Structure 1
Amino acid sequence: MFTSERPYIFHVELTDKCNAGCPMCPRTDAMNFCKPDRTKVFNVELGLEDFRTHFTDEFCARTEEIVFGGAYGDPLAASQLLEIVEHLTERGVRLAVSTNGGLRPPKWWTRLGEAMKRTGSRLELHLDGLADTNHLYRVNTRWERIMENARAYIATGARAEWHFIIFKHNQHQIEEANRLSKEMGFAEFTLIDTIRFSGGPTYDYVMPTGERCALELPDVKAAQFRASDDGGVALLEKPAAATDGPRLGVNGIDCKSAAFNRPYISAHGQVSACCWVTGSDEEAAFFADHGLGPERYNIRNRPLEDILLDEPFASLYARAWAQDSLKNCRHKCGRMLRNKRNTLWSA
């Protein structure tokens, strides 16, 4: 599944801590005032020493990129994110940091930008609307603070991208958000269709104030938009043709992690195939069936590369795909059920 013969691309969740209460996030108890679900969130994080131990000069030379984002936390909530970024970029590693942008003061963001631009690293700033709508999904965030932080970061010359999930309450703001992104100096504007409306066209939640709200599916899809000739946004009459066709991997499952040599490391230090399977009951059962306890694949117990080249990654996953015995793999990489993205422009 993973190999030392190709450069690694890591997906790392630095922490399960977050300042926001996004209703659809798995860390959020949406009907309990968007508070953290304490059965899933344990306030853990990876630290600088974890990266000094495993991402040595030699290993960094064989690491193409590390993406800091995850299932439960925002990387900016990790206490040593900045020191980790500096450690990695000083060793030539390109990074991507995915965040809601609501934490840390502008001076901190300036230092982050200076470190990130060393290796052409990118910030993925998730802004789902404008001043009057962003907080409807990014609950507990403050627009003014996010804008201050974004401007401080962009002023360093580091790359920043605006990522925008489309809901019914913000679909009318796509043109204005696109224009603002260019004015501020963002390098890219990307629209996203979320797959988290699987239960129906609405998603109920309760705001911290006690107000009952509901997210609604938009009337448009990300693929319906394109950049217009005048630099704005144009809406197509029909969505663009989907680019994700049937996958041709083992038994129809073309594992993205295997294809890109892209392991996942959780905030607990556990190494998994990807963010979709990590911590799941299915993963636990799969490992237990082969006598693999959690201590075997934790970076605080064994060298990272020893874990990557050992089971279950060496052969057990491929065997399970051939037997079509892993539901999550079939669901995500067989049927391609992931968020759909449409980058309207990129500098």
Structure 2
Amino acid sequence: MYSQVDIRRIHLEMTTRCNAACPMCSRNERGGFQIADLPQVDLTLLEVQRMLPPHFIEQLEQVWLCGNYGDPIIAPDTLEVLTYLKAVNPKIRLGLNTNGSARKPDWWQRLARVLDHCHFGIDGLSDTNHLYRRRTHWNVIMANAAAFIDAGGAAHWEFIVFRHNEHQISEAQELARTMGFRKFRLRKTGRFFFDGQLHPALDIQDTSGKTIYSIEPPIDICLRNASSAELGGIASERNGYANYLDTTLIECKAQTERELYISAEGLVFPCCYLASWYRGSRRKRDAQFQKLLEQHGGRNSIDARLRPIGEIIEGGIYRGIVTSWSQPSVAQGRLATCSGTCGGDSPNRHQYTNAIYLKPVHRDERDTH
């Protein structure tokens, strides 16, 4: 696929733990309860130092802290890991995605000194954000974002659009401006397309499995994910989606951007999509990729705590991934995950609108919130 000297970006999952229960997140069953087979683990500073030694960090352009299952602000060593990376390579760009609803303001002030930009996932205002970002607290988010911004941090507001918050876009953008956020960007989620079909809504359940409310796409068609609608049409045809997975052109984003994904268990994948090991009952495990992995040495063959990253990505499993793309069908070995996420009509390609750069507001002019 590529060699270690080619890598320029690392997508680092610091933890599988999270304070929130977002209903479309891979860690939850419709937001009600955590999937049963998800381990609760964090990467430590020592583990990161072993996996990412100084000579490797020096060639990197960016490290991004996000993940499939956890929020990096929950991991105990996140600030220490960022400090280590910046000390080794002062030119490296460090970013982080978060719901913002954990830690104290003083931690966020320290974060602002080492982080290049922080993307806050805030999907609405005080009366709506919690409908998707379940178990988060508006006042905590606002205090932490303000502390980060006032300490000089570059904050970006990312707003996933749903029916229940689409009327608040302008107000949220103005709040972002007055608080001092640098950018405001809308996200058009592709996650209403799952289990091979487009769903009109997602029922949110409590821990007993009882539906308590539903999340729906925005009414405004322009705010919906166009690829999800296209795939929904394909899926409605007889064998349409299966044929799409067999024939779509795969353009690997990780390969193009020379990126790797390192999970909270220290496992090295090309991307976060192949790293979705734990899916619960609503989304079955990707047995196809796991079978391929077993053919090339199993889990230990991609564990960066056991072997160098260069050895992993130059090994058989990575060659097997690339080879799979040329197979004539999923049944004959083409990885369905690669077709579904990096195929020509993937919802992941059309989830963002252009970022709005916000005119700076002098600190004395900022509104209270």
Alignment TM class, shorter chain as reference:
0.7 to 0.9
| Aligned position for 2:296 | 291
| CA–CA separation in structure 2 for the residues paired with 1:57 and 1:263 | 17
Q: Does 1:36 align with 2:34?
A: yes
Relative distance call for 1:142 and 1:84 in structure 2 (3 A) is same
In structure 1, which of residues 151, 157, 162 is the aligned counterpart of residue 157 of structure 2?
162
How many pairs align?
Answer: 315
Q: Does 1:259 align with 2:270?
A: no
Q: Is the 8 A contact 2:33 2:206 kept in 1?
A: no
Q: What is the aligned-residue RMSD (CA, Å)?
A: 2.2
Deviation at 1:207, TM superposition (A): 5.0
| CA–CA separation in structure 2 for the residues paired with 1:222 and 1:14 | 35
Q: Which range moves more in the overlay, 98-107 or 152-161?
A: 152-161
Deviation at 1:143, TM superposition (A): 0.2
SS at match of 1:331: helix
Relative distance call for 1:9 and 1:147 in structure 2 (3 A) is same
Q: Is the 8 A contact 1:193 1:221 kept in 2?
A: no
Deviation at 1:263, TM superposition (A): 1.1
SS at match of 1:342: coil
After TM superposition, the structure 1 = structure 2 runs for residues 91-110 of structure 1, keeping only pairs within 5 Å, are: 91=88, 92=90, 93-110=92-109
SS at match of 2:185: strand
Q: Does 1:63 align with 2:26?
A: no
| CA–CA separation in structure 2 for the residues paired with 1:62 and 1:30 | 40
SS at match of 1:158: coil
In structure 2, which of residues 106, 111, 132 is the aligned counterpart of residue 137 of structure 1?
132
SS at match of 2:353: strand
SS at match of 2:190: coil
Structure 1 residue runs of 5 or longer lacking an equivalent are 225-237, 243-249
Deviations 1:174-199 (A, max 9, x none): 00001111111111111011111125
**Percent identity (aligned):** 33
Q: Does 1:341 align with 2:352?
A: yes
Query: Once superposed, which parts of structure 1, at least 4 consecutive aligned residues long, lie more than 6 Å away?
Result: 208-211
| Aligned position for 1:321 | 325
SS at match of 1:125: strand
| Aligned position for 2:288 | 282
Relative distance call for 1:251 and 1:341 in structure 2 (3 A) is closer
Deviations 1:208-259 (A, max 9, x none): 79771100110125669xxxxxxxxxxxxx9xxx9xxxxxxx9721100111
Structure 2 residue runs of 5 or longer lacking an equivalent are 231-246, 278-285, 329-333, 359-369
Q: Does 1:191 align with 2:181?
A: no
| CA–CA separation in structure 2 for the residues paired with 1:191 and 1:101 | 17
Q: Does 1:74 align with 2:71?
A: yes
After TM superposition, the structure 1 = structure 2 runs for residues 109-258 of structure 1, keeping only pairs within 5 Å, are: 109-116=108-115, 121-198=116-193, 199-207=198-206, 212-221=212-221, 252-258=249-255
| Aligned position for 2:238 | none
Relative distance call for 1:170 and 1:214 in structure 2 (3 A) is same
Q: TM-score, normalised by structure 1?
A: 0.85
Relative distance call for 1:207 and 1:175 in structure 2 (3 A) is farther
| CA–CA separation in structure 2 for the residues paired with 1:299 and 1:277 | 16
| CA–CA separation in structure 2 for the residues paired with 1:43 and 1:7 | 28
Relative distance call for 1:281 and 1:55 in structure 2 (3 A) is same
Q: Is the 8 A contact 2:7 2:260 kept in 1?
A: no
| CA–CA separation in structure 2 for the residues paired with 1:184 and 1:127 | 13
Greater share of helix: 2
Q: Is the 8 A contact 2:50 2:305 kept in 1?
A: no
| CA–CA separation in structure 1 for the residues paired with 2:296 and 2:165 | 48
| CA–CA separation in structure 1 for the residues paired with 2:79 and 2:5 | 30
Q: Is the 8 A contact 2:161 2:218 kept in 1?
A: yes
Amino acid at match of 2:171: E
Q: TM-score, normalised by structure 2?
A: 0.80
| CA–CA separation in structure 2 for the residues paired with 1:133 and 1:222 | 21
Amino acid at match of 1:9: R
Deviations 1:105-126 (A, max 9, x none): 000000011121xxxx210100
SS at match of 2:148: helix
